[in-house]
Amino acid sequence: MQKIRFLFIIALSVLAYFPRPSYGQADWKEVRSMLTARSEMPAAVLDSKIYVPGGFGGLDTFEVYDVATDTWETLAPMPAGRDHLMATSYEGKIYVFGGFVRWQPQSTAFVYDPTTNEWTALADMPENRAAGVAVVVDDFIYIVGGVSDDESVAPPLLRYDPTQDEWTTLAPTSVVRDHLAAVVLDGQIWAIGGRSTGVEYHSVEIFDPETGIWETGPSLNVARAGFNAAVIDGKIFAAGGEVFAVCPNDACPQTLDTVEAYDPETELWEIITQMPVPLHGVPIASVDNALYVLGGSKEAGAILNDGRVFVYRP
């Protein structure tokens, strides 16, 4: 009897971490697949096009997806191959930062000009960084979370000035957050989920660039890392990811298919749908009020999605 009771408690714990709502997938549409199947890379949106640099294994691949024509194009490769790098757009150009080379974080940064199809080196970051997120607030680019050379210490928030090609070091998050998601909502930076030493987080931290202070935000429903997020119509959408902390001996799923949204009016996260397949290491982009999920992998440490691209319209 005690053994049965113990197994029942374990089952309830697993269900608590992996809620399986009966949401359908009718709102999802599959569009043209990527030219190169990839995972563990970011995406940057510019003029309704989605730029995707790098990928698992240290790829220098750089491709762009045109939402209007449903077509992909191969662009000039990055100056150096990277995975787990950070990328964003600013003033008509694509900026990429850091990333892993054979699991060693890097400090290099580059900018891509779509008008010339050329890359230019930027000033190195103040420290090596990978598995973080790049976001833009006003005229600055911020590198949020990730890992540096000392994985036991939360790295500082980095601020880059594109006009001066200069870096500033700011306050770190309260805990190490690598493989996190980050977005900008109402001028504030949200550091969402992530993990440290194999433990995933529900928690969220919010940074106010005006005060330079991090504060606690509303927690996710599902602890997740290796996922991504985007803002659509004033709401935050977080999708996919992976969880290792509650999967002893691979006894439960490690890759997630749930999508949850944060509504500022209710100040709550709500699981709203499931992706057609579970994915982690997947970039997400918001274009024309639609959520684009590009590539990624159905299994950790792999590229098992054939570069498929799914679109969700809330």
> What's the confidence (pLDDT) of residue 39?
96
Tokens representing 202 are 């529900």
Cα–Cα dist 65/49, whole Å? 6
When comparing pLDDT for 24 and 69, which is higher?
69
Segment 52-109, tens digit of pLDDT: 999 999 999 999 999 999 999 999 999 999 999 999 999 999 999 999 999 999 999 9
pLDDT greater than 70 at residue 249: no
Segment 31-58, tens digit of pLDDT: 999 999 999 999 999 999 999 999 999 9
* Among 118, 126, 119, 180, residue whose Cα is nearest residue 149: 126
- Which residues, 6+ apart, have CB-to-CB distance to 254 below 8 Å? 242, 243, 244, 247, 280, 299, 300
Averaged over 194-218, what is the pLDDT? 95
Segment 99-150, tens digit of pLDDT: 999 999 999 999 999 999 999 999 999 999 999 999 999 999 999 999 999 9
Q: Tell me if the domain spanning 37-312 has CATH number 2.120.10.80.
A: yes
Segment 164-187, tens digit of pLDDT: 999 999 999 999 999 999 999 999
> What's the confidence (pLDDT) of residue 36?
97
> What's the confidence (pLDDT) of residue 4?
33
pLDDT greater than 80 at residue 257: yes
Which amino acid, 66? D
For the full predicted model, state whether its pTM sits above 0.85. Answer: yes
Strand partners, 57: none
Cα–Cα dist 126/164, whole Å? 15
- Give the helix/strand (H/E) hosting 145: none
Tell me the CA distances in angstroms from 83 to 24, 184, 259, one per residue in order: 32, 23, 24
Cα–Cα dist 227/212, whole Å? 26
pLDDT greater than 60 at residue 21: no
- Which residues, 6+ apart, have CB-to-CB distance to 29 below 8 Å? 310, 311, 312, 313
- HSE-up of residue 39 (Cα within 13 Å, Cβ side): 21
